[in-house]
Amino acid sequence: MGENVGAAARAMKNFGLAQLRLIAPKFEWPNDRAQMLASGAGDILQTATLHADAAGGLAGFNLVLATTARGRDIPREVLTPAEAAARLRDAAHRGLKTAILFGGERAGLDNDEISLCDALITIPTAEFSSLNLGQAVLLLGYEWLKSADATPPSRIRQTIAMPATRAELIGLFEHLEQELDAAQFFFPAAKKGAMVRNMRAMILRSGLTDQQARTVRGMIVALVRNKYRGKT
Amino acid sequence: MGENVGAAARAMKNFGLAQLRLIAPKFEWPNDRAQMLASGAGDILQTATLHADAAGGLAGFNLVLATTARGRDIPREVLTPAEAAARLRDAAHRGLKTAILFGGERAGLDNDEISLCDALITIPTAEFSSLNLGQAVLLLGYEWLKSADATPPSRIRQTIAMPATRAELIGLFEHLEQELDAAQFFFPAAKKGAMVRNMRAMILRSGLTDQQARTVRGMIVALVRNKYRGKT
């Protein structure tokens, strides 16, 4: 259906893929419903090319991988999406033209189409699952972008913030401990050392910035304000 | 919109996720359009629970990660989807209750909602991209399943086929070389050694099974048939 091609175009756009080839579509082209679902990826539909069969659509490519969910009767190499993306990326770096072949919604790819491809890709899913075309394109596009993505697994998103200096943290430790001492928080006295070490570890683990350490000190000042007021 | 929740349920189903919580939805619930798009994931919609706000919806969880596309003014840890999946998987193994929080289609999550989460997840995308809710759920679900998936990056899908024995391959080599010799293919004779080594390497690289090696020999027999006929 046209909708599926629209969703596929939108999925491609999200991951920087631009060149779409349609092989023997069973709907009219250009297609209004594809346009509707493509939202923002209309340029991909406009430059898409039409081909009568897989041999024609794939003619110019050096490496072609085919997505398939089902087992096949012929022994073929089957790749995970991540491994497929790595191979496509590597081939593209060497100047080769690369493509991923997706099957239609119902029938998938037939054995003749698969026989034109270098290897198969199977997306790992739970049992009784079914991915539609847009979903399959999205996952392969995602792995394609990921294969060249250098984002570290974990990072702290911040503009100017830096982890607090020891001086700022020690200032906070001593301020807090002094006020807690004054409030007779450390009881029994013999346990004070362990309690202080626990508190300090807790604060260190929270990874405060200088600004945040000062904010916590402001909170302490605010919390003890009434006590001093009461005394005057 | 209800459609987006339906697509999200379908995405969850594909990767073995079952428990859906809806926080202050702006559409009626149960929702017909959600049902329509869920196709096959209706059970997830039926057991979904409704919550008035994020604090209520997240109350029972030990680890909560929030998906967000935009930069935030507060320094928070930001994870890739793969790292997020690894942490959720690890926490689940330790018996913790874990959740991923997704924002609404337009507005996303607000800062108050994000302040309830342990870390953020950002999906790497191309510039000027926009993922809808169903797509975001699909990608996180995929990484979740992948984090426990032991599929090797590359494998040969076959039922009974095994790589050919050396005997079968050598039989093929000798058969082919003998017929080519008879057809005066090796010219000049001085190059025969190198040509044979090239051909053998080409055949070995194709990773034939015993059955396939026999098929190739059958092809050779067929190709030379006319020649022998001509002679009789």
Residues contacting residue B98 through CB under 8 Å, at least 6 positions apart: B61, B62, B63, B64, B65, B88, B91, B92
Structure tokens at B115: 């302040």
pLDDT digits (tens, 9 = 90+) for B165-199: 888 999 999 999 999 998 889 989 899 998 898 88
Identify the CA nearest to B3 among candidates B29, B38, B28: B38
pLDDT digits (tens, 9 = 90+) for A18-56: 999 999 998 999 999 999 988 889 999 999 999 999 999
Q: What is the pLDDT of residue A86?
A: 97
Q: What is the pLDDT of residue A203?
A: 87
| Maximum Cα–Cα distance across chain B | 92
- Alpha-carbon distance B35 to nearest alpha carbon in chain A (angstroms): 16
Q: How many helices (H) and strands (E) does chain B have?
A: 10, 7
Does residue A2 carry a pLDDT above 90? no
Residues contacting residue B23 through CB under 8 Å, at least 6 positions apart: B51, B52, B53, B54, B56, B57
pLDDT digits (tens, 9 = 90+) for A144-185: 999 999 888 988 765 556 778 888 999 999 999 999 998 889
With bands split at pLDDT 50, 70 and 90, how would you rate the model's confidence at B222?
Answer: confident
Number of residues in chain B: 232
Identify the CA nearest to B137 among candidates B3, B26, B47, B25: B3
Nearest CA in chain A to B208: A75
Nearest to A15 among B125, B149, B151 (CB): B125
pTM: 0.79
Q: What is the pLDDT of residue A212?
A: 87
Identify the CA nearest to B19 among candidates B3, B51, B32: B51
Minimum mean pLDDT range among B3-12, B14-23, B196-205 = B196-205
Q: What angle do CA B63, B67, B70 make, to 5 degrees?
A: 135
Quote the mean pLDDT of chain A: 88
Query: B200 vs B44, which has greater pLDDT?
Result: B44
- Alpha-carbon distance B209 to nearest alpha carbon in chain A (angstroms): 9
| Residues A132, B166: Cα–Cα separation, whole Å | 44
Structure tokens at B117: 């989460």
CB contact (8 A) between residue A130 and residue B40? yes
| Residues A76, A111: Cα–Cα separation, whole Å | 11
Does residue B158 carry a pLDDT above 60? no
Q: What is the pLDDT of residue B17?
A: 95
